[in-house]
Structures are given as C-alpha cells and as structure tokens.
Amino acid sequence: MTDPRYSKLARVLVTYSTKVQRNDVVLLEMIDVPDEFSIELMRAVRAAGGIPLIETRHTRITREVLQGVGEAQARLIRDLELFRMRKVQAYIAIRGSANANETSDVPGDQMSLYSRVLRPVLNHRVGKTRWCVLRWPTPSMAQAAGLSTEAFENLYFDVCTMDYRKMARAMEPLHRRMSKVDRVQIKGPGTDLTFSLKGIGAKMCRGDRNIPDGEVFSCPTRTSANGVIQFNTPTLYAGTRFENVRLELKDGKVVQATASHTRRLNEILDTDAGGRYIGEFALGFNPHILQPMCDILFDEKIAGSLHFTPGQAYADCGNGNQSAIHWDMVLIQRKEWGGGEVWFDGELIRKDGLFVTKDLKPLNPQNLK
C-alpha cells in the first residue's frame, strides 16, 4: 500500500506550489526517488488536467557524466534540455541521493564547465516556468540531521505539508519592510556586515518555489557590502563539505575567504568574475527546521537564520550579478547558536533569532506552528 503521505505531498506540489492548470505540460525530474512517489506525482498532475513529462535520473550516473564531460557534450546536453524546458509550463524536481558526497571527486574544472554551459537551462526554468524543487528523505539525510530514518521522515513530511498559506500571510509585513529598506546591518560573533538593499525589492518564498520553504529574500546592491561575516553552519557545495566559512567583503566583493577547505572554497569563488560578488540575502523562519543538516533547501529556512549568497543574482530582486555559482551560506542567530542581530535602517528587527517588532512577531516559531 502506498504511503498516504505521498499523495498528500503530491497534491501540495501540484495544486499549491505550481498551480497546474488544464493542458499544462509539467516536467517531473525524479532523482533517486521511489517509483511509488513518481507515480503519485504523475497521477496528481493528470488529476489537475496537466500532462506529465517524466525524467528519471540517478546520482551515480550523473557523476560519471560529469567525470568525462567536455565542452561539446555539455553544449549538446544544454541544447536538448533547453529545447525540452521551453516546451513546459511547470517543473517539479525531487532530488534524492543515497550519498550527498557523490560528486566530491569530480574535478572542479569539470563541475565549473558543466555549470557554466548549462546555465541557460536553469535561467529559463527559473524565469519562464512555475517551478518547485525539493529533496527526497534518505538515510544519509537523516544521518546528517542526527536523526533516525523514521524520525527524519516524519519531520520531512511535517515540514513539506505544513500550512504554507498561513505562513504566507505572516511574512507579508517582512516583505514590505525588506522592499523599502536601504541600510542593513548584521551583527554577531565574528560578524559585522553592512550593505544596502535600496531599489532592489524583495520576494516571499511561501512554498511555491521550494519546499520546505519559509524565507523572504532580497539582494545587496552590487558594491555595497562591507565587513565580515562568520557562518556557523556547515555547507555542502559541489560535493565538498565546508565548515567555519568566513568571508571578508570590500565594496561588494569577497576579498578574503577561509574555511575548513580554504583552497577549494576559493577555487569555487573564482569560477568566474561574478563568483566573488553577492547574489542574495534572506531571512529564514520555518518553525519546524531548527538544526542544520547540510542540505541547503532545509538549512536556508532554519528558524532564526539568515543566508548570504556569493554568485548569481535572481532576475527579480537581483543586482544584475552573473555567475555560474549560487552558494547559499547560512548563519543561525538564535541564542543557543551565539545570538546576533539584524538591523533595518537603524531599527533592530530581530535579536537572537526572534523578531522583536509587533508586525513581525507572527513569524516567530511559536506563532507559526
């Protein structure tokens, strides 16, 4: 018998996240996902009147492609996938993996080549389709979260099927504030960073792009960031786990970067000219996600967190920065993680991970659950 949580999640993705309409073509990209859920998702698309177009992938096969890919093959893959992406109105990707480090031994220049050449596919998907991306719960994710497989699966389905409509209403005041703010200051242990959001705008993430969700994001103006930020959560990028990432910025550019793998960190930031400029700033507040699990779709939504992102800026709420990388790095500011403050135009709006102004208090965990 199929797990009833499968059909519930499929309905959320189809009817709420991507709002599939009659005759919509929906590309379903299933990566190491049980067939039973793929079937439930196809059925949900059909029930909404859409046309499911399914692609199944496996991370070990993808690793082999990346190991030997050259410019000509990458261009061919780009052309084929871009042709297909232009035929669809919606896109849902479910990304599972038995080993989150599967691509850790793929040479950096191979990863950079593939990311750079295939960037137009991602740009079209983000800018021209209704899309939603999420992970699939695996034992390796449970291990990273420090939970049993069963406990993690329960957390996963609770988070992914929560009341996102209620969260969307609660985040509207933060969206208004972030849309109007000029000067932002971030303070905390090892962190004192200022930048401007003037004229950029803001975007609410309410379960219609990523699940789990729970953030409002904007982007620093390209040359405004100055100071230092010390991240306190691990980050997994291009198959390598980094800890204690510290970035020093001057006039918007990362001028010094250190971490547990400092050399590899700087190799990634040097992928292209935009890799050392910032493409996103966001505040996270999902009440169910409290601990990092080295999976960015979860970690960037941690209650009381923020993330700061070297690389590509989004077309909306962006500063025009272009890069093949987009690396969300997470800082948790709750008291048990060392605390910290967020200031908007000289007003304290969040302290030790809790919003302190009346209009923003509905976003605190006790009010969202």
Q: What pLDDT is recorded for position 293? A: 86
Nearest to 313 by CA among 179, 134, 127, 129: 127
Q: Is the pLDDT of residue 100 over 90?
A: no
Do 141 and 201 reside in the same domain of the chain? no
39-48: average pLDDT: 98
The amino acid present at 359, given as its one-letter code, is: D
Do 212 and 297 reside in the same domain of the chain? yes
Do 245 and 317 reside in the same domain of the chain? yes
The number of beta carbons lying within 10 Å of the beta carbon of residue 118 is: 18
Q: What pLDDT is recorded for position 165? A: 87
Tens-digit pLDDT profile for residues 177-213: 999 999 999 999 999 999 999 999 999 999 888 899 9
Number of domains in the chain: 2
Alpha-carbon gap, residue 291 to 299, rounded angstroms: 7
Domain containing residue 50: 4-160
| CB within 8 Å of 350: residues ≥ 6 apart | 283, 304, 333, 341, 342, 356, 360
| CB within 8 Å of 17: residues ≥ 6 apart | 92, 132, 207, 208, 209, 211
Alpha-carbon gap, residue 85 to 136, rounded angstroms: 22
Do 191 and 210 reside in the same domain of the chain? yes
Q: What pLDDT is recorded for position 98? A: 81
Q: What pLDDT is recorded for position 273? A: 95
Q: What pLDDT is recorded for position 99? A: 85
311-335: average pLDDT: 95
Q: Which of 131-145, 210-224, 254-268, 280-294 is predicted with the least confidence, judged by mean pLDDT?
A: 131-145
Do 132 and 179 reside in the same domain of the chain? no
User: How far from 86 is each of 24, 79, 121, 283, CA to CA, in Å?
Assistant: 12, 11, 9, 32
Contact assessment for residue 343 and residue 352, using Cβ atoms and an 8 Å cutoff: no
Tens-digit pLDDT profile for residues 10-31: 999 999 999 999 999 999 999 9
228-235: average pLDDT: 97
Final residue before a domain boundary, out of 122, 139, 160:
160
Do 278 and 357 reside in the same domain of the chain? yes
HEC states along the chain?
CCCHHHHHHHHHHHHHHCCCCCCCEEEEEEECCCHHHHHHHHHHHHHCCCEEEEEEECHHHHHHHHHHCCHHHHHHHHHHHHHHHCCCCEEEEEECCCCCCCCCCCCHHHHHHHHHHHHHHHHHHHHHCEEEEEECCCHHHHHHHCCCHHHHHHHHHHHHCCCHHHHHHHHHHHHHHHHHCCEEEEEECCEEEEEECCCCCCEEECCCCECCCCEEEECCCCCCCEEEEECCCCEEECCEEECCCEEEEECCEEEEEECCCHHHHHHHHCCCCCCCEEEEEEEECECCCCCCCCCHHHHCCECCEEEEEEECCCCCCCCCCCCCCECCEEEECCHHHCCCEEEECCEEEEECCEECCCCCHHHCHHHHC
Q: What pLDDT is recorded for position 258? A: 98
Do 48 and 131 reside in the same domain of the chain? yes
Q: Which of 238-242, 246-250, 268-272, 287-291 is predicted with the least confidence, judged by mean pLDDT?
A: 238-242
212 prior amide bond cis, ω within 30: yes
Task: Provide the token pair at 219.
Answer: 């982007």
User: What CATH number is associated with residue 96?
Assistant: 3.40.1830.10
| CB within 8 Å of 80: residues ≥ 6 apart | none
Do 114 and 81 reside in the same domain of the chain? yes
Q: Is the pLDDT of residue 321 over 90?
A: yes
Q: What pLDDT is recorded for position 90? A: 98
Q: Is the pLDDT of residue 278 over 90?
A: yes
Tens-digit pLDDT profile for residues 122-176: 999 998 999 999 999 999 888 888 889 999 999 999 899 988 989 999 999 999 9
Q: What pLDDT is recorded for position 295? A: 85
Do 139 and 191 reside in the same domain of the chain? no
Task: Provide the token pair at 150.
Answer: 């069963």
Q: What pLDDT is recorded for position 79? A: 98
| Model pTM score | 0.79
Final residue before a domain boundary, out of 111, 129, 160:
160
Q: What pLDDT is recorded for position 239? A: 80
Q: What pLDDT is recorded for position 184? A: 98
pLDDT band at 2 (very low <50, low <70, confident <90, very high): confident
Q: Please give the mean pLDDT across all residues of the chain.
A: 95
Q: What pLDDT is recorded for position 207? A: 87
Q: Is the pLDDT of residue 1 over 80?
A: no
Final residue before a domain boundary, out of 117, 136, 160:
160
Q: Starting at the earlier edge strand, list the strands of the sheet with 90-95.
A: 51-57, 25-31, 90-95, 130-135
Q: What pLDDT is recorded for position 238? A: 84
As beta bridge partners, residue 254 has 249
